Structure 1
Amino acid sequence: MSKSISRNAIFNSILNLFNILLPILVIPSVSRAIGNELYGYMGYGDSLNNYFSIFASFGIYTYGLREISRVRDDKIKLRQTFTSLFVLTTITNILATLAYMAFVLFSYKGQPYLYTCIILGLNLAFNLFYVEWVNQALENYDFITIKTMIIRIVSCIIIIFLVRSKENYLFYLYVIVITNFLNNIVSFIYIKKRIKFDFSNLCFKKHLKPMIYAVILSNVGVLYTQLDKFMIKASNGTTDVGYYYMAQRIINMINTLLLTLVTVTMPRLSNYLGNDSQDKYLVLLKRVAKIYFIILFPASIGLMCLSNEVIGIFGGGEYLSVIPAMEVFSIYMLSLGIQNIISNQIIYLYQREKDDSILIFIGGIINLILKFILIFIGHFTIVTAIGTTLIANIIVIGLQYRLVKRVIKLNINLFNFNNMKYLVYSLIFIPITILIKSLTHNIIYICIIDVTFCSLFYIGALIITKDDVFFEMIGKVKAKLIRS
Structure 2
Amino acid sequence: MSKSISKNAIFKTVLNVFNIILPIIVMPVVLSAIQDKLNGYITMGEAWTAVFMIFASFGIYQYGLREVSRVRDDKNKLKQTITSLFIITTVTTTIISVLYAFFLIIFHRNDGYFYTCMVMGLNIVFNMFNVEWINEALENYDFIVIKTMIVKIIYNALTICFVRTQEDFLFYIYLTCGINFINNISSFIYIKKKIQFNFLDLQFKKHLKPMFSVVILANTYILYTWLDKNMINSYIGSTEAGYYGVAQKIMYMIDILMFTIVQVSMARLSNYLENHSKEVYLKLLNKIVKVYFLFLFPASIGLLGVSKQVIIIMGRGTDTYLPAVPILMVFSIYMLTIGVDRIIADQIIYIFGREKTDAKLVLIGGLLNLVLNTLLLITKTFTPTTVIATTLIANLVVIAMEYRLVKKEIKLDIHLFAFENLKYLYYSLIFIPITFAINKFIYGVILSCILDVIVCCSIYFIILIVTRDKVFFELLFIVLAKIKILYNKLKVI
Which residue is 2:230 aligned to? 230
Task: Write the distance in 2 (CA, Å) between the matches of 1:212 and 1:284.
Answer: 29
Q: Could you say if the C-alpha distance between residues 279 and 176 of structure 1 is closer, same or farther in structure 2, counting changes exceeding 3 Å?
A: same
Query: Equivalent residue of 2:51, what SS?
Result: helix
8 Å Cα contact 1:367/1:388 also seen in 2: yes
CA-to-partner distance for each residue in 1:362-387, whole Å, 9 max, x for gaps?
Answer: 11111110100000010000000000
Of 387, 390, 400, the match for 1:388: 390
**Structure 1 segment 154-233 matched on structure 2, within 5 A:** 154-217=154-217, 223-233=223-233
- Name the TM-score, length of structure 1 as normaliser: 0.99
Amino acid paired to 1:251: M
Q: How far apart are 1:161 and its partner, in Å?
A: 0.8
Quote the Cα distance in structure 1 between the aligned partners of 2:137 and 2:118: 32
Report the residue type matching 1:198 in the other structure: N
Change (3 A) 1:364 1:478: same
Instruction: Give yes or no for contact 2:50–2:222 (8 Å, CA) kept in 1.
Output: no
Aligned to 2:377: 375
Q: Which moved more, 1:448-457 or 1:89-98?
A: 448-457
Partner secondary structure for residue 319 of structure 2: helix
Give the unaligned 5+ runs of structure 1. Answer: none
Is the contact made by 1:223 and 1:365 (CA closer than 8 Å) also made in structure 2? no
- Of the structure 1 ranges 295-304 and 312-321, higher mean CA displacement relative to structure 2 is found in 312-321
Letter matched to residue 94 of structure 1: T
2:325 maps to 323
The aligned counterpart of 1:21 is 21
Q: 1:418 to 1:218 in 2, by over 3 A?
A: closer
Deviation at 1:110, TM superposition (A): 2.9
Moved more, 76-85 or 112-121: 112-121
2:58 maps to a residue whose letter is: F
Q: 1:402 aligns with which of 381, 401, 404?
A: 404
1: CA distance, partners of 2:372 / 2:303? 26
Q: Which residue number in structure 2 is paired with residue 93 of structure 1?
A: 93
Name the amino acid aligned to 2:52: F
Show CA shifts across 1:444-470 (max 9, x none).
111111111111111111111111001
Instruction: Tell me the SS of whatever aligns to 1:201.
Output: coil
Counterpart in 1 of 2:60? Answer: 60
- For residue 221 of structure 1, report the CA deviation from its aligned partner: 5.0
1:145 is matched with 145
Q: Deviations over 1:108-142 (max 9, x none)?
A: 22322111011001111111100000000000111
Correspondence for 2:352: 350
Q: Report % sequence identity.
A: 54
**Cα contact 1:359–1:396 (8 A) shared by 2:** yes
Measured in 1, the distance between the counterparts of 2:333 and 2:208 equals 36
Question: Is 1:431 matched up with 2:433?
Answer: yes
Rounded to whole Å, the distance in 2 between the matches of 1:391 and 1:47 is: 21
Residue 491 of structure 2 corresponds to which residue in structure 1? Answer: none
CA distance in 2, matches of 1:326, 1:269: 33
Structure 2 CA distance, aligned partners of 1:144 and 1:443?
36
Supply the distance in 2 between the matched residues of 1:368 and 1:208 (Cα, whole angstroms).
28
What is the aligned-residue RMSD (CA, Å)?
1.0
Per the alignment, do residues 322 and 268 of structure 1 end up closer, same or farther by CA in structure 2, a change over 3 Å counting?
Answer: same
Question: Is 2:268 aligned against 1:251?
Answer: no
For 2:490, the equivalent position in structure 1 comes to none
Structure 2 vs 1, CA of residues 297 and 218 (structure 1 numbering), >3 Å: closer, same or farther?
closer
Judge conservation of contact 1:221–1:360 (CA < 8 Å) in 2.
no
Please, which moves more after superposition, 311-320 or 271-280? Answer: 271-280
Distance in 2 (CA, whole Å) between partners of 1:94 and 1:187 is 20
Question: Which range moves more in the overlay, 23-32 or 299-308?
Answer: 23-32
Residue number among 448, 453, 456 corresponding to 2:455 in the alignment: 453
In the alignment, which residue of structure 2 is the partner of 1:412?
414
Aligned to 1:107: 107
The 10-residue stretch of structure 1 (360-369 or 240-249) with the greater mean CA deviation from structure 2: 360-369
Amino acid at match of 2:188: F
- Residue of structure 1 equivalent to 2:39: 39
Distance in structure 2 (CA, Å) of the matches to 1:386 and 1:220: 14
Does the aligned pair in 2 maintain the 1:359–1:400 contact within 8 Å? Answer: yes
Specify the SS of the correspondent of 1:380.
coil
d(CA) in 2 for partners of 1:438, 1:59: 46
* Counterpart residue number, 1:5: 5
The residue aligned with 1:465 is: 467
CA apart distance, 1:220: 5.7
SS of alignment partner, residue 202 of structure 1: coil
The residue type paired with residue 310 of structure 1 is V
Is the Cα–Cα contact under 8 Å of residues 51 and 223 in structure 2 kept in the other structure?
Answer: no
Conserved? CA contact 2:311–2:322, under 8 Å: yes
For residues 117-156 of structure 1, the aligned pairs below 5 Å read: 117-156=117-156
Residues of 1 paired with 2:61 and 2:223: CA distance?
20
Closer, same or farther in 2 for the Cα pair 1:448/1:222, shift >3 Å? closer
Deviation at 1:300, TM superposition (A): 0.3
Q: If the length of structure 2 is used for normalisation, what is the TM-score?
A: 0.97
- Give the direction of change, closer, same or farther, for the CA distance of 1:230–1:369 in structure 2 (3 Å limit): same
SS of the counterpart of 1:318?
Answer: coil
* Contact 1:300–1:333 (Cα < 8 Å) also in 2: yes
**What's the counterpart of residue 336 of structure 1?**
338
Deviation, 1:216, is: 3.0
Matched residues, number: 484
Deviation digits for residues 394-433 of structure 1 (CA, Å, limit 9, x no counterpart): 1111110110011000011010001111111100011111
Greater CA drift, 227-236 or 357-366: 357-366
On the 8 A contact 2:221/2:338 being kept in 1, the answer is no
Q: Which amino acid aligns with 2:90?
A: T
Amino acid at match of 2:402: Q
Residue 222 of structure 1: how far off its partner (Å): 5.4
Contact 2:22 2:156 (8 Å CA) reproduced: yes
* Alpha-carbon distance in structure 2 between the residues aligned to 1:313 and 1:142: 32
State the Cα distance separating 1:204 from its structure 2 match.
0.2
What is the alpha-carbon distance in structure 1 between the residues aligned to residue 350 and residue 477 of structure 2?
A: 32
Which stretch shows the higher mean deviation, 230-239 or 450-459? 450-459
Any idea what SS the aligned residue of 1:379 has?
A: coil
Letter matched to residue 179 of structure 1: I
